[in-house]
Structure 1
């Protein structure tokens, strides 16, 4: 029945922050059009928000000036964010200096870096209080993992931003920056926070290369302040839920990498995934 299907869709969105049409077709054993009609009904009721290829929580994105808190955002698209973080970890090498912006996906990357001794020595620059804390607590007294916190004014998304953060980043150079964003579309990367946009631009300028970590639910979401154009970053790392039109738009501007959402084979403790 339609009500049962819609309850299932709601349960998926509430658990993961998003639901893909392709996955719902399989789990519900119905047609693509049936799933889309159910999503449309839920959207009209204000229970979900329709996006390319599926649905997300109604408060995902919102107005260009809305800035959801860290705890709210970390419940959205959890499987996709974990997959993206795993794929990003595979590009980190021992001896590098990297930068992590604030964000829920970059926080997951920080957790993976902290749990991977094979990456030592490593220097991590970050404007995220939570990421710095995760890295510091993982290796107390271990000087092979150096953590540099930029300082600055704290935002609702737990980013340190503003002139202090910008000045710190202007004096540093790192091998690669991993950047989380509020929204992304063909025009580029955005955030609701003007100061955070400026600090993220400083982070990009400090890096020899930049990888943007953005799950598919970020596509089409627009914040008030532009961070950068797509062609100003080196890689957009997303997941397999990214719709075809988005893939074409990104591929025309920069390198696109899609992380598989299937769980990788179990690794030996201490081994890189």
Structure 2
């Protein structure tokens, strides 16, 4: 098992039960004590867990906690890919769409190759890179300017001003958290303002968020739940979450990752 896969298993286990022991991980992963501790050091360095004597625990959730792009990119990989595929099916040829910053929208960008005559507006350096690397002559990519955040988003007054002059058919919005009262949130105040401008420019709003985002609340609200025309999530949502979201968003779509990936434990 590769280091990335081991670390995904570790994160999934911590998400499931809140803590892990080095001794248990040695048995489960079939590697040495030193290898496990090295993996924990890497994950702790990315802010994904807190090391304790003999193991690690989940990081306490604060409304201003903002993991970097690399930290978020190892979480819920199969779920994000399934969500991204389903969301990409909503994109029509010849339209202008917006993609916010985030690892799910970044994943979604890879599934837009078959959509011709597309204009994509984004404040994500990572998303713009993916689209530009494809070299499509029938695609226009507009990258807004601004200050770079830990999630590689360009935010601030420059980005907001650029977005206020645009009219987009659909905006695909990645979020840090979603909850009944707080709505869709982010831990970054500047990113919230820029994402709000994206939402205001949209004819339709599609939120892409895996089930672990439910119940997480960032410091700033981007949009209320009922502002989402579509929410694309995964089957890990609890029945309570499905009920609340089903009554709030315009349409709730659930994507399930391949069973093989789930059995291998690759998806934290």
| TM norm structure 2 | 0.77
- What SS does the aligned partner of 1:102 have? coil
Gaps in structure 2 of 5+ consecutive residues: 22-43, 50-56, 261-268
Distance in 2 (alpha carbons) for counterparts of 1:236 and 1:12: 30
Preserved CA contact (<8 Å) 2:204 2:229? yes
Distance in 2 (alpha carbons) for counterparts of 1:86 and 1:155: 26
Q: 1:181 aligns with which of 175, 179, 193?
A: 175
Deviation at 1:17, TM superposition (A): 4.3
Deviation at 1:18, TM superposition (A): 3.2
Deviation at 1:123, TM superposition (A): 0.3
Runs of 4+ in 1 over 4 A off after TM superposition: 40-43
**What's 1:241 paired with?**
236
**What's 2:159 paired with?**
165
CA RMSD between the two structures? 2.6
**What's 1:64 paired with?**
63
Preserved CA contact (<8 Å) 2:13 2:19? no
**What's 1:84 paired with?**
83
Preserved CA contact (<8 Å) 1:16 1:76? no
Deviation at 1:62, TM superposition (A): 2.3
Gaps in structure 1 of 5+ consecutive residues: 1-10, 22-35, 50-56, 265-273
- Matches for 1:87-106 after TM superposition, within 5 Å: 87-106=86-105
Deviation at 1:12, TM superposition (A): 7.5
In structure 2, do the counterparts of structure 1 residues 119 and 231 end up closer, same or farther at CA, with 3 Å as the change threshold? Answer: same
Preserved CA contact (<8 Å) 1:17 1:78? no
Tell me the number of residue pairs that the alignment of Structure 1 and Structure 2 aligns. 223
- What SS does the aligned partner of 1:252 have? helix
Deviation at 1:262, TM superposition (A): 2.2
Distance in 1 (alpha carbons) for counterparts of 2:10 and 2:132: 28
**What's 1:6 paired with?**
none
Distance in 2 (alpha carbons) for counterparts of 1:246 and 1:225: 21
**What's 2:108 paired with?**
109
**What's 2:213 paired with?**
218
| TM norm structure 1 | 0.75
